[in-house]
A = this chain, B = another copy of it.
Amino acid sequence: MPDKTTGLYFALFNEIAIIEQLSRAMFEARLPKGLMVSHFSVLNHLVRVGDGATPLKLARAFQQPKTTMTHTLAGLERHGYVRMEPNPKDKRSKQVFITKEGRVFREDAIGLLAPDVARIAAIFPPAQAEALLPGLQALREEMDGLRD
């Protein structure tokens, strides 16, 4: 493997890290204090995919350590945005449900973030975003698969 190839992937991951950084900073500047993009993302996932999933399943969906998800869910629960129930299928486990307050917060947050999204869309049009997405999804899935 030539150095040039290694450098290519370093450059790729570096761009990705910077964009992640920029988007997180931009969004968190809009969210109320104490709520992070991680909180919003979980609520968004619960609405889009449906709730009732276990914490571990959520951690896997975001490819995060389960301790991180425990922490994020604790924050959401403290705000009353999710409810944790014992999992009837497995006494070790729990199920996560989004509350009405959680749905309201998600809706509000989308409204708060919309202007930023619009600013991005103005300079990086949806067609370009759509062009990028499949490649990123493919990369994500492949890297996901490497984790065994």
Task: Spell out A's residues near B (CB within 8 Å).
Answer: 1, 5-6, 8-26, 37, 41, 44, 62-64, 110, 113-114, 117-121, 123-124, 126, 128-133, 135-140, 142-147
Contacts and interface: CB of A to CB of B under 8 A. Distances in A.
Contacts of A123: 142, 145-146
Contacts of A146: 26, 119-120, 123
Interchain residue pairs A-B with the least CB separation, the first 3: A20-B20, A15-B136, A123-B142
Nearest to A38: B17
Contact of A130 (B8, B37, B129, B133): B8
Contacts of A143: 19, 22-23, 26, 120, 124
Nearest to A15: B136
Contacts of A144: 22
Contact of A8 (B15, B22, B24, B126): B126
A23 B19 contact: no
26 contacts: A1-B114, A5-B117, A5-B121, A6-B113, A6-B117, A8-B126, A10-B117, A11-B133, A12-B129, A12-B132, A12-B133, A16-B20, A16-B136, A17-B23, A19-B140, A19-B143, A20-B20, A22-B144, A23-B143, A26-B143, A120-B143, A123-B142, A123-B146, A124-B138, A132-B136, A132-B139
